[in-house]
Structure 1
Amino acid sequence: MITNISLMSVFVNDIDEALEFYTEKLGFVPKTDVKLANFRWTTVHHPDHPELELQLALPGPPLDEEDTSAVRRMMQKGTMHAFGIATDDCRKTFAELTARGVEYLQEPSERPYGVEAVLRDSSGNWLVLVEQRPYTGEDFS
């Protein structure tokens, strides 16, 4: 039986830079950092949710060169979506993160499902910050 998601990966340009961003700007905690001859396995997690690790990965194997190039192009264009982050107060969290120097694409805005802001990580990936509230399909009409 599947119990939960335990690992997800986000492509980054530089693992050390991303590690600094996710720990110092977002408050995540380092979990694993193993350096092998041609690969580095680096993960962080939110302090309240150690069961979900976020792997900071360079684009490359097991992707082939064509896919690696496509991922790098999307990252360079700033169109790569990483993941959503839940918050209990989007406006307050947005203010705290931007005060720490986190770049944003969209200030907090009312949506049918709550309040949403869009930020960028140090590699240009979109991070969606959401203060969710109950909604139904009718809320989108």
Structure 2
Amino acid sequence: MDLKIAHSFLFTDDHDEALAFYRDALGLEVRTDVGGGKMRWITLGSPEQPEVSIVLTPAASPAASAEDNAAIAELMAKGVLGGIVLTTDDVDAVFERVAATGAEVLQEPIDQPYGVRDCAFRDPSGNMCRINQPK
């Protein structure tokens, strides 16, 4: 049996702000952008990995109670609901490009004891985006 990752979901509370981060700052390509308003669904990915997509999905759910949606919004604001790790061959260049957009920097590039050089940002919805460069 061959099992592969196809989609990974990240909650967002503002699709346009998320697009500015993932498409414009990080350089991912938009694959789909469907729906509208609070039910918009966007997939993005790297041209080098056409079989894998990040899905930006609404954090608020019409099936959830107002209290649950408020709890989700609070956890997102704290940055504890989601995250993603991307890899590159030049983390310093990616860091400079993304930082120049005004994205929230969580960590400047450093060499980690576990074999990567990495940096980290917070996307506009609070999700952590860590970028690794294997040593």
TM over 0.5: yes
Question: Highest Rg: 1 or 2?
Answer: 1
CA distance in 2, matches of 1:58, 1:28: 19
Q: What is the RMSD computed on CA atoms of the aligned residues?
A: 2.2
Question: In the alignment, what sits opposite 2:97?
Answer: 96
Q: In the TM superposition, what is the alpha-carbon distance from 1:36 to its structure 2 partner?
A: 6.4
Q: In the TM superposition, what is the alpha-carbon distance from 1:128 to its structure 2 partner?
A: 0.7
Aligned length: 133
* Matching residue's letter, 1:112: P
Deviates more, 1:105-114 or 1:30-39: 30-39
CA contact (8 A) 2:121 2:130 kept: yes
Q: What SS does the corresponding residue of 2:54 show, helix, strand or coil? A: strand
Once the two structures are aligned, what percentage of the paired residues are identical? 35
Map residues 59-138 of structure 1 onto 2, 5 A cutoff. Answer: 59-61=59-61, 64-65=64-65, 67-113=68-114, 114-133=116-135
TM-score, scaled to structure 1: 0.81
Query: Which 4+ stretches in 1 moved above 6 angstroms?
Result: none
TM-score, scaled to structure 2: 0.84
Q: Which runs of 5+ in 2 are unaligned?
A: none
Q: Which runs of 5+ in 1 are unaligned?
A: 134-141
Map residues 10-49 of structure 1 onto 2, 5 A cutoff. Answer: 10-35=10-35, 39-49=39-49
Assess, with a 3 A threshold, how the Cα gap between structure 1 residues 120 and 36 changes in structure 2: closer, same or farther.
closer
